[in-house]
Structure 1
Amino acid sequence: MRRIVLPALLLLAACEMPDMAELERGAENALRASVFLPPRQDGIAPRRHDPPAGALEDEDAATTGGPTLLVSYGSQRKVMAMIQGNGEQRMWRSADGTVVATDGARVVATAGTATTLAATRFDSPDPLDDIPALAERPATARRVVDLAPATRDPNRMRFGVALECRMRAARVEEGLYVEERCGGGARFVNRYWADPGTGAVWRSEQWVGMDGRPMVIEVLSSPAN
């Protein structure tokens, strides 16, 4: 079993030049079903758009020469540059030291946020890895996450939070739209917008353990495969 663990992320967040270590992620996924979910309220995915004016500040200009993301949550908006990559497993870091680890389009760990997503575990492949297949057959997935507050208060840490999620994709004018409804240890809805040809996600809204504040991720410059 592979897994993303917190200590490596905290080291990256604290260091100006983080060490390169192999990203790890595990899997824990037992349910199989084909259950369609209700469509999004408006039924249509938003059109692809350029980053909002002013999103890339002068001090961030140096980080936009390679793969970059625009990451927003709450009142925070940060440009993150890729600092490590191993296939679909990548780490991204902002100028203030916030770190996000992704596996494909999925955020699997964070550091420097109000609530830290310390680890994500699956048993089998994440259905999000094959979005075109979701358009043909919805999937049900189960994963387990570990959460910790930024204060590292042991009384507020939550380990082994089990999530059961139902995922489906729909083909719309703008491409592929994916909706993921989760329950269990937390209730939330994740949304993804992908290229219809490649299935590559260019925008997503994901729960990362912060109540009422999904992390919105927009790809400014994608990594070369």
Structure 2
Amino acid sequence: MRGLAALVLVAITLSGCGVVGRTSIKTVQMAMQGKPDVHPTTGDVAANRYPQIKVTGPHGGAVLVLGNVDGNRQAWYSSDRSIVFLEDGLLVGTHGGTPELHGMRIDGNNPFHDLRQIRTSITIQRQYDVMPGYRFGMTVTGTLERIGIEKIEILDATRALLHVRERLNGQDWKRENHYWVDPGNGFIWKSVQAIAPDASLEIIQLKPYSQDLKR
């Protein structure tokens, strides 16, 4: 993993002096701890050949690039090796920043393989491992419901996406996750997902991994 992250850093460095080339060195930690937001343009994103996401925390944002794919698990890197881990668009871990999501898993059937299938409200069970505080095995119930089609602007494109809301409840937990899903292929273009009882990240797909769009 260290070698791969180093290669990603080299790739970012060589990608040029555009906004993406500069802002990719910002980290999830920066996004969580008060650094400024970033606003890449369509041209900036196109200039970098790697898939890219924008991650925004309570006080700012950062652009990350795809550094590794292992089955359904994707690792999105900043240049200092802060990482966001996604599976089918679901946020399952972070590395770097505070708080840090060491892991998230769903017990039983996983509806995130295709959120388009949700017609009526359904309930899922999650397990969270969060640092600091060694808050491992936090049991959280998620209730998913279909809201409807909404227009979402990403870069220069306006997309009609299916909005699915998830209400989270558990010990010390009372938050909402939101997902905006492509009604054609089920791809999650935008989401707001909790990483701790008191913190969430917004994730926007700027330049998706091409295989994700071939469902």
Report the TM-score when normalising by structure 2. 0.71
| 1:164 maps to which of 141, 152, 160 | 141
Q: Does 1:198 align with 2:181?
A: no
The equivalent of 1:189 in structure 2 is 176
Where in structure 2 are the equivalents of 1:2-151 lying within 5 Å? 12=2, 16-17=6-7, 55-56=39-40, 64-134=48-118, 136-149=119-132
Shift of 1:72: 0.7
- Measured in 1, the distance between the counterparts of 2:128 and 2:149 equals 31
Q: Deviations over 1:145-185 (max 9, x none)?
A: 11112xxxxxx221110000100123325321000001013
1:178 equivalent in structure 2: 164
65 and 201 in structure 1: CA distance in 2 versus 1, 3 angstrom threshold = same
Code of the residue aligned with 2:6 in structure 1: it is E
Unaligned runs of 5+ in 1: 1-10, 19-52, 150-155
CA contact (8 A) 1:13 1:112 kept: no
Amino acid at match of 2:57: Y
Amino acid across the alignment from 2:174: R
Q: Distance in 2 between matches of 1:13 and 1:111?
A: 16
Q: How far does residue 195 in structure 1 lie from its aligned partner after superposition? A: 1.1
Post-superposition Cα deviations, 1:104-151, rounded to whole Å, max 9, x if no partner, equal 1111000112111001122323222221111x23210001111112xx
Tell me which residue corresponds to 2:196: 209
Q: How far 1:63 moved relative to its partner?
A: 8.6
Q: Is the 8 Å Cα contact of residues 107 and 127 (structure 2) preserved in structure 1?
A: no
Aligned residue for 1:26? none
Q: Which runs of 4+ in 1 moved over 6 A?
A: 60-63
Q: Percent identity?
A: 26
Over 3 Å counting, the alpha-carbon distance change for 1:157 and 1:13 in structure 2 is farther
Q: What secondary structure sits across from 1:189 in the alignment?
A: strand
Report if the CA contact (8 A) 2:107-2:124 is conserved: no
How many residues align structurally?
171
Offset at 1:62?
9.9
CA-based RMSD: 2.7
Give the Cα–Cα distance (whole angstroms) in 2 for the partners of residues 78 and 13 of structure 1.
Answer: 22
Give the structure with the larger helix fraction. 2
Contact 1:98 / 1:112 at 8 angstroms: preserved in 2? yes
Gaps of at least 5 residues in structure 2 are: 9-36, 151-159
1:196 Cα deviation (Å)?
1.3
Return the structure number with greater relative CO, CA threshold 8 A, min gap 6.
Answer: 1
SS of structure 1 residue aligned to 2:146:
strand
Higher strand residue share = 2
Partner SS state of residue 185, structure 2 = coil
Residue in structure 1 matched with residue 30 of structure 2 by the alignment: none
